[in-house]
Amino acid sequence: MLKQQLSFKLSQKLSPQQIQLMKMIQLPTQAFEQRISQELEENPALEGGKEESENFDDEFSNEEFDEGNEVIETDINVDDYLSDDEVPSYKLSANNYSADDEERQMPYAAGTSFTQYLMQQLSTYRLTEEEEEIAQFLVGSVDESGYIRREIQDIVDDLAFTQNVYTSEEKVEKVLKIVQDLDPAGVAARDLQECLLIQLERKEQTPSVTLAIAIIDESFDYFSKKHYKKLIQKFDITEDQLRDAIHEIEGLNPKPGGTYSGNTRMAEHVVPDFAIKIIDGELDLTLNGRNAPELHVSHDYTNMLKGYKESKDKSKAQKDAVMFIKQKLDAAKWFIDAIKQRQQTLFVTMNSIMHHQEEYFLTGDERKLKPMILKDIADKINMDVSTVSRVANSKYVDTPYGTKLIKEFFSESMKNDQGEDVSTKEIKKILEITISEEDKRKPLTDDKLAKILLEKGYPIARRTIAKYREQLDLPVARLRKEI
């Protein structure tokens, strides 16, 4: 038996313009500037720069434009585009900053890529044609950390299949040694052990360096697991000698590729969207001036409408042109209004976050960060949680303590032994300080850390301590041990 069922579903759909506004709110400063440039290119009715003062006559009545019985089908009156009241200056300057407060231009260095940097060095070596092809292939195989994480046999096979170069493992090994001579030291190593050895071998061969080479070469497993007593026994050395050798190793770079400043992936520049300063003991928030461009509606376009209004003969072609002009003016006015809304949304949201975390911003002490979730701010400013999320996840603020991603100020809460809500960030900071102050000869286990935090008034389980420690990128007690 078939049953017919009628159900009503109420759903809220965002208009295309609302979706565009949400996307604009999410854009950080640099991407927002690109969006403005794109809009200026695509819409001739939108112009940048300050608007020259010009008075428009507002003498037109709200009559329809018709010719015979033909009417332009639009619910927008031409007078709306000609009235001076409807065409404000659109300077978009807020009273919390001036146009000169922030730099509007940010210089960028073109630079060369890490691969190009290595290739340039190769050109200084005398190589045969075959060696040069192998060397270039090896350089192309170096990852962003500076390693070649492939087996030699795989490289031999790839050279044959992709480069039509038929060679042997011995020749590739020989050329690899040449590539490993390039700067930065340690580049083109196949693993961490080889990377450290390459760097140590370039250093002045003091007793400490010689011992460090022996430790890495012969007892890398003991070293990585910090089995110091076994190292002392194996090499028949004193604690001081081992300490000096370890000091040499700790000064090496485990990721040589990351040291090259020309590597664009390593040198991304963050432009803060906000700045917080302390002036006379009070917090002062400003929005980066690059988020408030000077835009206005084109006077040429409004004058075209004015000319059409005054024209007695109105052809079909003219009416089509007017429809196009209206469409472009609509888009320009909406875009300017959207920028105003974006600007206001960003400022109101960050202002609320700043006041919620006032103690932190005045002191820079992460232990002063209060529990704060997206809903806390959304409720305060009467906005949707998703809007606050768009601001927090993609924006940076310049503070007296460095440039911070806004979402870093958000955290869940936990109860202390007084029943008070405390931020999980506060607990992590206390955990980090406790570990930094421990005796490195006898580092604290997670169980001991849990007991110490309990004594400080934070009843936290051992597994939670372990989770927070991992989030702080701190190793287990055994790997924190020093001699």
Length of the chain measured in residues: 483
Q: Give the pLDDT confidence of 191-208 residue by residue, as tens digits.
A: 888 888 988 888 888 888
Q: What is the predicted pLDDT for the residue at 417?
A: 65
Q: What is the predicted pLDDT for the residue at 108?
A: 37
Cis peptide before 184 (omega within 30 of 0): yes
Q: What is the predicted pLDDT for the residue at 70?
A: 34
Q: What is the predicted pLDDT for the residue at 14?
A: 61
Which stretches of the chain score pLDDT less than 50? 1-3, 6-11, 53-76, 78-79, 81-111, 261-268
Nearest to 250 by CA among 284, 208, 188: 208
Q: What are phi and psi of 182, to 5 degrees?
A: -70, 165
Nearest-angstrom CA–CA distance, 155 and 181: 19
| pTM > 0.85: yes or no | no
Residues 71, 65: contact at Cβ < 8 Å? yes
How high is the mean pLDDT of the chain?
77
Q: What is the predicted pLDDT for the residue at 309?
A: 65
Q: Give the pLDDT confidence of 271-298 residue by residue, as tens digits.
A: 899 999 999 999 999 999 888 888 888 8
Nearest to 168 by CA among 179, 152, 189, 181: 152
Residues 29, 40, 37, CA angle at the centre, nearest 5°? 30
